[in-house]
A and B are shown apart, each in its own frame.
Chain A
């Protein structure tokens, strides 16, 4: 068992496009759930809308990558409006079921063979990175460059730079929002929307704004992921949503840095276990498991971690002890 290799693989995960996409999705979900109290269980749907909006705009309509990214964002806005108009007036748990259903509808629409020409059906979409990679301003180099476990190709570095920049801008954006009077209303709605309504605030409008803002951030997560990898419908399943929830609750739902920390930790631990457990099986330390079962054990542990988090530390790592995020 090569413990150094395992650690190196684990640390390399921190800067992967998937992790950066997760960080953004978790920040968006923090806006929805942590700050506004919206039970969005359709995170994967928002990510899919962003990623597919981006990829389809390039492949089918031949748009430049930055315009395609804007289209992905626009698609998320539309998706948020479609979801929000019927459900934001309803009780919270209805929103959760509608969003989970809508995300599933989106995935099935991307998966069906009926639109194979545009969506690629089960194969997903690939080969849309040319324009994005061509815009890379980094000096030419061949092979990988970097230090320690963070050694990537020129194309990968470009994704990482864009991704990290988007994360920084988003964190500043959410921080500015939440310290403003707008954020005060949003947090008030989380606590008790009737009270806020009685104070003359248009609660529906504020919730809609929060849904759109968070949805756009989540879609950015999908777009950044798509910049680094192919787009595949099997990624945007409900489990993906649940993993993002786990990441968010791990870090602290009602905090600015909680989702960043939570998402990075989630992937670091997941990568560590995915490398460690099969290695332990190989050296015979887990006699009852096969290598494949060891991989499944990782997901069992994620599920258990989610339960324990919610039961024993619902405010997450960074959350204020007094400031429980679950109001009702």
Chain B
């Protein structure tokens, strides 16, 4: 557990992957037994064989656990006094995964990788050919163990996920408020996120103000940006009577235009805010967090609580909820809908801008399309919570954040957004109104 490093993280991910596959195998075997003819269930008398030899510099190692998974489900054996092991498998012309449990090796040694490319040398994929027999050998030597506690990993992921989720919440609350009060599915919200990060960069790096001054300025400018978009674009369009679909496509055009304007300024590369590569703190076990992570979470929580109080207590907050609930009724009861919408744009600009700054630290780095890279996660969060409800957006964001981070324990890291998007689709299938949404909203 003291050997935590990036390679072990990767190793564990793969290990967990095999565990999950093994679990699926068990379930499948169970299902197969309950459904009559047992086609591929591992048994003593199975005809084909996967075998091997575990030795350290010629000396056999006894009692090392080997798990073979594939058709017939997972089977675990231990090496005998000669360091030999063998497993009977039910099918040939099939692939099996052989995993050596490094915790059963003597102290100080591990499976080493002869090529230097494989990050998980203790897991091997083998193919049992037409001959029906295959042997698997592991190279054992002094090296880094590919085991660490699953629990630590999970805790770290959950904390990261909450951090990411809180950041997402800042962005998605604004999107949800705008949707609730104006009906716009605002694709350009992503660019409001990027805008915040860019302004922080402008004032902290280009103008060299301290970062704690630069960030508030960036948030204020983001609020102003929201105001400007409402006054200069959205309000005239509402007056013109554009439908929600038209407004959505206008926001897509705006998103494209802004994105490339940003790129004209900062190019296609990544730029960093000050203090983006901080020392990390060891919390417990192998769980590590940075000061930036902690500050980011603290700021998010404070801002979200302040926002909630504002929405709940202030006159304008109540009016916002009323407009969200039923714009024509609110208008009929004397609420200045245009004024409320203006405030909503300002608030949502500020929140998105702050979210952008935090996202720049989380990624880390500022890129011209950093906002649009999480736009779908923001939408997923908003829909998960129920379109148009601010608290729903918060809960949805936390779920999406944790889900994205935790799911990468099992699925490849470059697919981690897929889990959130698949959940989004499933939510729409089973509970289209979201978690906090009302069913009758769905037309």
* A and B in direct contact, judged by CB atoms within 8 A: yes
Residues of A within 8 A of B (CB): 39, 86-87, 90-94, 96-98, 100-102, 104-105, 108-109, 111-114, 238-239, 242, 245-246, 249, 289, 292-293, 296-297, 299-311, 314, 326-328
Interface-central residue, B253, B255, B415, by most chain A CB under 10 Å: B253
Are B256 and A306 in contact (CB-based, < 8 A)? yes
Are B256 and A326 in contact (CB-based, < 8 A)? no
Please pick, from B242, B245, B414, the residue contacting A108 in the complex, using a CB distance under 8 A: B414
Please pick, from B248, B250, B260, B422, the residue contacting A296 in the complex, using a CB distance under 8 A: B260
For residue B412, which residues in chain A have a CB less than 8 angstroms away from its CB? Answer: 112-114
Interface flag for B39 (CB, 8 Å): no
Give A210 Cβ to nearest chain B Cβ, in Å: 17
Are A109 and B415 in contact (CB-based, < 8 A)? yes
Are A296 and B263 in contact (CB-based, < 8 A)? yes
Q: Is the interface of A mostly helix, strand, loop or mixed?
A: helix
What are 20 A-B contacts defined by CB distance under 8 Å?
A86-B428, A87-B425, A91-B443, A93-B248, A96-B248, A97-B185, A101-B380, A101-B421, A101-B425, A105-B421, A108-B414, A112-B415, A299-B257, A300-B256, A303-B256, A304-B257, A306-B249, A306-B250, A307-B257, A328-B244
Are A299 and B260 in contact (CB-based, < 8 A)? yes
Give Cα A91 to B439, complex, Å.
Answer: 12
Give Cα A165 to B155, complex, Å.
Answer: 58
Task: Given the known inter-chain contacts A101-B376, A108-B414, A238-B372, please indicate yes or no for A303 contacting B258, CB distance below 8 A.
Answer: yes
Task: Given the known inter-chain contacts A97-B383, A300-B257, A305-B253, please indicate yes or no for A292 contacting B267, CB distance below 8 A.
Answer: yes
For residue A297, which residues in chain B have a CB less than 8 angstroms away from its CB? Answer: 260, 264
Number of interface residues of B (CB under 8 A): 44
For residue B432, which residues in chain A have a CB less than 8 angstroms away from its CB? Answer: 90, 94
Are B240 and A311 in contact (CB-based, < 8 A)? yes
Interface-central residue, A92, A93, A114, by most chain B CB under 10 Å: A93
Give B261 Cβ to nearest chain A Cβ, in Å: 6
For residue A96, which residues in chain B have a CB less than 8 angstroms away from its CB? Answer: 185, 248
Task: Given the known inter-chain contacts A90-B432, A245-B252, please indicate yes or no for A314 contacting B246, CB distance below 8 A.
Answer: yes
For residue A249, which residues in chain B have a CB less than 8 angstroms away from its CB? Answer: 249
Give Cα A296 to B237, complex, Å.
Answer: 27
Give B61 Cβ to nearest chain A Cβ, in Å: 32
For residue B264, which residues in chain A have a CB less than 8 angstroms away from its CB? Answer: 289, 293, 296-297, 300
Task: Given the known inter-chain contacts A297-B260, A306-B256, A328-B245, please indicate yes or no for A98 contacting B428, CB distance below 8 A.
Answer: yes
Please pick, from B243, B258, B424, B442, the residue contacting A101 in the complex, using a CB distance under 8 A: B424
Give B210-243 interface residues, CB cut-off 8 Å to A.
237, 240, 242-243
Interface flag for B1 (CB, 8 Å): no
Interface-central residue, A90, A108, A297, A303, by most chain B CB under 10 Å: A303
For residue A105, which residues in chain B have a CB less than 8 angstroms away from its CB? Answer: 418, 421-422
Interface flag for B417 (CB, 8 Å): yes
Give Cα A109 to B416, complex, Å.
Answer: 11
Interface flag for B429 (CB, 8 Å): yes
Are A104 and B257 in contact (CB-based, < 8 A)? no
Give Cα A302 to B260, complex, Å.
Answer: 10
Give B229 Cβ to nearest chain A Cβ, in Å: 12
Are A300 and B261 in contact (CB-based, < 8 A)? yes
Give Cα A98 to B376, complex, Å.
Answer: 10
Interface flag for B287 (CB, 8 Å): no
Give B414 Cβ to nearest chain A Cβ, in Å: 5
Identify 16 new A-B residue pairs, CB closer than 8 A, beyond the known A109-B418, A242-B255.
A86-B425, A90-B432, A92-B245, A104-B421, A105-B421, A114-B412, A114-B414, A300-B264, A303-B255, A303-B256, A305-B253, A308-B253, A309-B253, A311-B237, A311-B242, A326-B243
